[in-house]
Amino acid sequence: MDFLPIFRDVSERTVIVAGGGTVAARRVEIALRAGAHVKLFAESIDEDDFAELRDDPRLEHFRRCPEPADFEDAALAFAACRKYEDDRKIADMARAAKVPVNVADRPELCDFIMPSIVDRSPIVVAVSSSGASPILARMIRARLETMLPAAFGKLAEFAGDIRDKVMARLKNPENRRRFWERILEGPLATLVFSGDEDTAKTLLERELTAAEAEEREGITGEVYLVGCGPGDPDLLTFKALRLMQKADVVLYDRLLGDGILNLVRREAERIYVGKRRGDHTVPQEEISDMLVRLAKEGKRVLRLKGGDPFIFGRGGEEIEKLAENRIPFQVVPGVTAASGCAAYAGIPLTHRDHAQSCLFITAHGKDGIVDVDWTQVLRPHQTVAVYMGLRLLPQFMKQLLEHGADAALPVAVVEKGTRADQRVVTGTIANIADKVVAAQVESPAMIIIGTVVTLRDKLAWYLPEEGAEEVTQGRFIGSL
Ligand code: SAH
């Protein structure tokens, strides 16, 4: 982080603005909106830009340059002069008086920079690109403008008005937080947005009484078993994101893509229960017990799973324990690795000319030995997606050949599918194992077997030359 974002109280304080143009006028306006007294220094001011500001009694206009004495007791200073020299002088004076200064379009002279603002007072959202791209910050601001209803300010005011009452009636901070989350997201918020504060107050009373009862009788937690896809955070579902934002504690493992954990509520406790092959950090049994225990403590427990929880995710085992213990839970499906990898590698899993069915199997049998029904795997017009198969790839291919597979049958291995560093290696049953070793493919990797793999050359027309890399559809697809 290059700058520390803070909100500065300038009400009833003096803010210095130097300059008479559009930018100076914007600074005057925002300082007045924040309750400051503004001392404006400018030989002349732009009539249009200042038209609505000049009659404000809190604005004092001096037709001269500021002097060191003007900065005494000022809270902030803004410079937006035409000449660099003038700006620099003002910045020097401000700094000598220990007043933080901002100089428009001259980052090297600034103590602080101005964010793009979404004003839903008392809610204020400030966006900054740390000076790297103010236009991008403005675009983000525009998006936020459309996401936050104009009445958000009203809701914040409503919450502010009842804050003391809620504090007095709900003693447990955890309980209070849940209460706030419930009312700020639910029907009560809708009532406030629509201006029906009377009905909102009736509902508030009901909610408060219910929350008091919960405080007396204790609350039961719940578990969210959430699939978050193979890696790209954009593949999360809305439901997954909503529950991630609600959790009190999160249990996660290694299969999660970068950036996904950042989307979990910041205050949630994070517990790593990662499992590596042959190195079971936390045994499955223990994870299930932990889910039960945390939920019994009244927590909202988020169990994040790579891909889909019910596809080779042992989700079934985890909720079995929950059901036995009568713990409420929700299961949220995710994009499973086979379909994520297929889509991002340009390989349709089914296709009228190639495959009428698709089999999801794992090559990781009991004790690491491949334990599959070979007749089923070798059925024609079918695609086979193999999970957890990287280590056993040579054995798997050998067994396929021994059971009569065509040595020329195409195979793709997708490494770190859907992630920024995804790589795809293609070959045949006969040579894929060697190619994978040569390319030093790492886990996680998905093996896709079938003639659909040949479609990649046709569909992924954007693929670069052999061995090259190119940005396509916003991500790298390396072809080996
Ligand atoms: N529940 C998960 C699968 C867990 S099993 C799902 O539905 O996707 C773990 C296996 O999934 C890995 O060994 C690998 O074969 C596959 N896998 C998971 N994420 C992957 C990714 N980003 N790229 C390629 N394969 C992946």
pLDDT of residue 462: 57
Report the nearest atom of ligand 1 relative to the CA of 308. Answer: 7
Beta bridge partners of 303: 225, 251
Interval 222-229 mean pLDDT = 95
The length of the chain, given as a count of residues: 480
d(CA 396, CA 433): 9
d(CA 38, CA 19): 12
Nearest CA to ligand 1 atom 6: 307
Nearest CA-CA partner of 31 in 51, 49, 47, 53: 53
Residue 397 scores a pLDDT above 50: yes
| Strands in 7-135 per DSSP E | 14-18, 37-41, 59-62, 74-79, 101-103, 116-120, 123-127
Q: Write the pLDDT tens digit of every residue in 109-126.
A: 999 999 999 999 999 999
Residue 268 domain-assigned (yes or no)? yes
pLDDT of residue 461: 60
Edge to edge, the sheet with strand 382-387 lists: 357-362, 382-387, 445-449, 410-415, 423-428, 475-479, 469-472
Interval 316-328 mean pLDDT = 90
Q: Where do we find the tokens 């994040």? A: 304
257 and 199 belong to one structural domain: no
User: Do residues 223 and 281 touch, judged by C-beta distance below 8 A?
Assistant: no
User: Do residues 419 and 259 touch, judged by C-beta distance below 8 A?
Assistant: no
Pocket, ligand 1, Cβ cutoff 6 A? 230-231, 255, 305-308, 311-313, 336-337, 341, 387-388, 414, 416-419, 443-446
Residue to probe by mutation, ligand 1, list 312, 386, 415, most atoms within 8 Å of CB: 312
65 and 177 belong to one structural domain: no
pLDDT of residue 372: 84
- Which of 35-49, 144-158, 454-468 has maximum average pLDDT? 35-49
Could you tell me the pLDDT band of residue 150, with boundaries at 50, 70 and 90? confident
Write down the catalytic residue from 253, 289, 296, 398.
253
User: Do residues 448 and 315 touch, judged by C-beta distance below 8 A?
Assistant: no
345 and 303 belong to one structural domain: no
Interval 220-239 mean pLDDT = 93
Residue 387 scores a pLDDT above 70: yes
451 and 404 belong to one structural domain: yes
pLDDT of residue 281: 62
| DSSP assignments along 331-355, one per residue | EE----HHHHHHHHHT--S-BTTTB
Q: Which two tokens stand for residue 371?
A: 């334990």
Report the nearest atom of ligand 1 relative to the CA of 364. Answer: 13
Q: Write the pLDDT tens digit of every residue in 269-302.
A: 999 987 555 555 678 888 999 999 999 988 999 9
User: Range with the lowest mean pLDDT among 29-43, 266-280, 291-305, 449-463?
Assistant: 266-280
Nearest CA to ligand 1 atom 9: 388
What is the CA(273)–ligand 1 centre distance, in A?
17
User: Do residues 10 and 35 touch, judged by C-beta distance below 8 A?
Assistant: yes
Q: Write the pLDDT tens digit of every residue in 50-92.
A: 999 989 999 999 999 999 999 999 999 999 999 999 999 999 9
What is the CA(446)–ligand 1 centre distance, in A?
7
pLDDT of residue 473: 34
Residue 428 scores a pLDDT above 90: yes
Could you tell me the pLDDT band of residue 460, with boundaries at 50, 70 and 90? low
Could you tell me the pLDDT band of residue 423, with boundaries at 50, 70 and 90? very high
pLDDT of residue 314: 85
318 and 359 belong to one structural domain: no
pLDDT of residue 266: 85
Q: Is 252 exposed, middle or buried, given 0-12, 13-18 or 19+ CB atoms closer than 10 A? A: buried
Beta bridge partners of 14: 37, 74
384 and 298 belong to one structural domain: no
Residue 480 scores a pLDDT above 50: no
Residue 13 scores a pLDDT above 50: yes
Residue to probe by mutation, ligand 1, list 228, 387, 436, 449, most atoms within 8 Å of CB: 387
User: Do residues 388 and 362 touch, judged by C-beta distance below 8 A?
Assistant: yes
Write down the catalytic residue from 89, 246, 275, 296.
275
Interval 448-456 mean pLDDT = 94
Residue 477 scores a pLDDT above 50: no
Give the Å distances, CA to CA, from 164 to 182, 340, 461, 474. Answer: 17, 49, 62, 49
Catalytic (active site) residue 253:
yes
Q: What's the whole-model pTM score?
A: 0.68
pLDDT of residue 181: 85
Could you tell me the pLDDT band of residue 312, with boundaries at 50, 70 and 90? very high
Residue 465 scores a pLDDT above 60: no
Mean pLDDT over the full length of the chain = 89
Residue 425 domain-assigned (yes or no)? yes
% of the chain beyond a pLDDT of 90 = 70
346 and 289 belong to one structural domain: no
354 and 432 belong to one structural domain: yes
Nearest CA to ligand 1 atom 24: 445
Could you tell me the pLDDT band of residue 470, with boundaries at 50, 70 and 90? very low
Could you tell me the pLDDT band of residue 467, with boundaries at 50, 70 and 90? very low
330 and 349 belong to one structural domain: no
Q: Which two tokens stand for residue 217?
A: 């009788």
Query: Domain range spanning residue 296?
Result: 222-335
92 and 34 belong to one structural domain: yes
> The CATH number of the domain where 92 resides is what?
3.40.50.720
Question: At 324, which amino acid appears?
Answer: E
What is the CA(231)–ligand 1 centre distance, in A?
9
Residue 359 scores a pLDDT above 80: yes
182 and 66 belong to one structural domain: no
Residue 254 scores a pLDDT above 80: no
Residue 2 domain-assigned (yes or no)? no
Give SS3 for 369. Answer: coil
pLDDT of residue 259: 87
pLDDT of residue 279: 58
d(CA 383, CA 452): 7
Task: Tell me whether strands 300-305 and 222-227 are parallel, antiparallel or unpaired.
Answer: parallel
Residue 54 DSSP one-character state: T
Which residues make Cβ contacts (< 8 Å) with residue 356, sequence separation at least 6? 350, 381, 382
Q: Which two tokens stand for residue 436?
A: 């994978």
Residue to probe by mutation, ligand 1, list 446, 447, 449, most atoms within 8 Å of CB: 446
Could you tell me the pLDDT band of residue 366, with boundaries at 50, 70 and 90? low
H or E segment at 358? strand 357-362
What is the CA(423)–ligand 1 centre distance, in A?
14
Residue 397 domain-assigned (yes or no)? yes
Report the nearest atom of ligand 1 relative to the CA of 257. Answer: 22
Beta bridge partners of 476: 471
Structural domain count, the chain: 4
> The CATH number of the domain where 432 resides is what?
3.30.950.10
Report the nearest atom of ligand 1 relative to the CA of 447. Answer: 15
Report the nearest atom of ligand 1 relative to the CA of 315. Answer: 1
What is the CA(193)–ligand 1 centre distance, in A?
43
What is the CA(252)–ligand 1 centre distance, in A?
15
User: Range with the lowest mean pLDDT among 56-65, 229-238, 361-370?
Assistant: 361-370
Q: How far is CA 286 from the centre of its chain?
A: 29
Angle between helices 197-217 and 173-185 (to 10 degrees): 150
Looking at 236-283, list the stretches that DSSP marks H as alpha helix, in order from N- to C-terminal side.
238-244
